[in-house]
């Protein structure tokens, strides 16, 4: 118990100085944080903007100002490097538990995640069925259209697939699922209907499906 109390005192005083190295005081650290307070961690690059003036800290602790490295002006561009979710211990209660490790003006430090908007970039591909009619050619009549939208976050492997179908005689239908690409095929991994997309070329695909209205050849547009 004495050792744990000593850990707390050291953490709140020495360890939070703006340039302190966690490993100088603790044997088990990760990204300059004592490992025992880390509940989860993920590493993924995003761009972001802070919603308020925000303090950049060398450690994700708000009980002291000694770890403040800089103040980031509102709406500044941030490079989000990783995300941390922290947890309380018997000795330490943390008022803010969700933090981003960010890069700003060549400084790397922690900011409270709730004050940052992530800017997520998507890669989007659109394909239209050969059975569709282009309504721009005849705007006075309703036409059948069948479209596929493929969307994923840049750098991710999972595609979100959205299938659109409209027939003026039948109505509108939409199906969504997630797919993973293996070589030239995008396989459905959402445990729904049997959808497999095969890319014939960069601009053309064939959709295999037991939902007949979506089966066929599609071209990029």
- Higher-confidence position of 200 and 27: 200
**Which of helix, strand or coil describes residue 10?**
helix
User: Which of 112-116, 166-170, 211-215 comes out lowest in average pLDDT?
Assistant: 166-170
pLDDT, residue 11, reads 45
- Find all residues with CB under 8 Å of 43, minimum gap 6, and list them: 81, 82, 83
Please check the confidence at residue 102 and state whether its pLDDT lies above 90.
yes
Please check the confidence at residue 13 and state whether its pLDDT lies above 90.
no
Q: Two tokens at 155?
A: 């750098």
Region of residue 203 (phi > 0: left; psi between -120 and 50: alpha; otherwise: beta)? alpha
Q: What is the pTM of this model?
A: 0.57
Q: Two tokens at 218?
A: 């599609």
pLDDT, residue 169, reads 78
- Higher-confidence position of 106 and 132: 106
Of the candidates 88, 63, 68, 86, the residue with the CA atom closest to the CA atom of residue 12? 63
Beta strands in 20-91 (DSSP E): 29-30, 33-34, 38-50, 54-57, 68-72, 77-86
In angstroms, rounded to a whole number, what is the distance separating the alpha carbons of residues 15 and 161?
A: 48
Alpha carbon 169 to chain centroid, angstroms: 40
In angstroms, rounded to a whole number, what is the distance separating the alpha carbons of residues 160 and 157?
A: 10
The span from the first CA to the last CA of the chain, in angstroms, equals 67
pLDDT band at 171 (very low <50, low <70, confident <90, very high): confident
pLDDT band at 5 (very low <50, low <70, confident <90, very high): very low
Cα angle: 111, vertex 56, 40; to 5 degrees? 30
pLDDT, residue 192, reads 65
The residue-averaged pLDDT of 74-79 equals 95
In angstroms, rounded to a whole number, what is the distance separating the alpha carbons of residues 142 and 120?
A: 36
Instruction: Give the pLDDT confidence of 117-159 residue by residue, as tens digits.
Output: 988 888 899 999 987 866 556 555 566 788 999 999 877 889 9
Q: Which numeric CATH code is attached to 15-118?
A: 2.30.30.40
Query: How far is it between the farthest Cα atoms of the chain?
Result: 82
Alpha carbon 5 to chain centroid, angstroms: 38
pLDDT, residue 40, reads 95
């Amino acid at each position: 118990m004495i050792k744990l109390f000593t850990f707390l005192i050291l953490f709140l005083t020495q360890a939070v100085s703006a340039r302190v190295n966690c490993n100088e005081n603790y044997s088990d650290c990760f990204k300059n944080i004592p490992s025992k307070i880390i509940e989860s961690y993920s590493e993924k690059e995003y761009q972001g903007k802070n919603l308020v003036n925000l303090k950049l800290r060398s450690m994700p602790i708000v009980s002291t100002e000694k770890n403040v490295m800089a103040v980031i002006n509102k709406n500044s561009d941030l490079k989000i490097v990783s995300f941390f979710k922290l947890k309380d211990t018997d000795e330490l209660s943390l008022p803010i538990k969700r933090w981003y490790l960010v890069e700003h003006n060549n400084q790397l430090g922690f900011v409270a995640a709730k004050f940052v908007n992530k800017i997520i970039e998507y890669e989007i591909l659109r394909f239209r069925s050969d059975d569709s009619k282009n309504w721009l050619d005849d705007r006075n009549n309703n036409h059948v259209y069948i479209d596929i939208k493929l969307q994923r976050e840049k750098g991710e492997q999972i595609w979100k697939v959205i299938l659109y179908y409209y027939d003026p005689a039948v109505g509108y239908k939409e199906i969504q699922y997630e797919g993973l690409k293996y070589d030239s095929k995008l396989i459905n991994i959402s445990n729904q209907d049997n959808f497999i997309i095969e890319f014939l070329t960069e601009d053309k695909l064939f959709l295999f499906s037991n939902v007949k209205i979506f089966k066929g050849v599609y071209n990029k547009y």
